[in-house]
Structure 1
Amino acid sequence: MTEEFLMRLDEGMLEYFRDIAQEMTERFGVSHAEAVARINERYGDTEIGPYPDVMGHEMPEFWAYGLYYRPDAQGRLPSGDEDADADIDESALEVRPAPPADSSAWTLPRS
């Protein structure tokens, strides 16, 4: 466990999860604290292996989209690959709600 993430991570996976959080802040405009809370809410109880955990076989933006959006009616989410995502209307996707304010997923001060 680190001060920001609830799961135990080696240095490689810590960097990887920080990259996922950065993707969310850059792509969706959420704060770093919210991005970390979204990650903690989803993966906080998950045992993550050392880098490269199976998650590392996808780019961080793949996980960022799944943490921020709900899948469309066909069960699809953008992956961060423009060609593969060409037929997905990102503007029509529903944003997942952030974790509740009293959730333990919030490990960083909200700005």
Structure 2
Amino acid sequence: MSKFIFETDDVSEEFCLEIVDIMMKDFNIAEEEAMGRINSFWSRLSIIREYDLVHHELPKTWAYDIYFGPDSEWWKKDPKTLEPKPFP
């Protein structure tokens, strides 16, 4: 049973769990927060499969986009100077 609110195949489940691990390590957040942020970010999706466009970016890119926001331009800045997107 997936911890995500969207359906995944095995490859996508592992991909999303890589994002969780990166967020926990790089941002020092709990697994529950990382999972919640991913679920919120991709809440409009019902399923993610291996061939979906989600897999065209690296897990680290998704982790930073989800945490700081895709418009944050985190790749141009020192992440220590950025504010994370609010999380309920």
1:46-103 residue CA offsets vs partner (Å, 9 max, x unmatched):
133421321111110100001111444xxx122xxxxxxxx422222121112x2xxx
Query: TM-score, with normalisation over the residues of structure 1?
Result: 0.70
How many residue pairs get aligned? The number is 87
Gaps of 5+ in 2: none
Matches of 1:91 and 1:14, distance apart in 2: 29
Contact 1:16 / 1:60 at 8 angstroms: preserved in 2?
yes
Q: Which has the higher strand share?
A: 2
> What residue is the counterpart of 1:109 in the other structure?
none
Q: Which has the higher helix share?
A: 2
Q: Percent identity?
A: 30
Matched, 1:90 2:87: no
RMSD of aligned residue pairs (Cα, Å) = 1.7
Query: TM-score, with normalisation over the residues of structure 2?
Result: 0.86
When Rg is computed on C-alpha atoms for both structures, the one with the higher figure is 1
Matches of 2:47 and 2:77, distance apart in 1: 30
Gaps of 5+ in 1: 79-86, 101-111
Moved over 6 A (4+): none
Contact 1:68 / 1:95 at 8 angstroms: preserved in 2?
yes
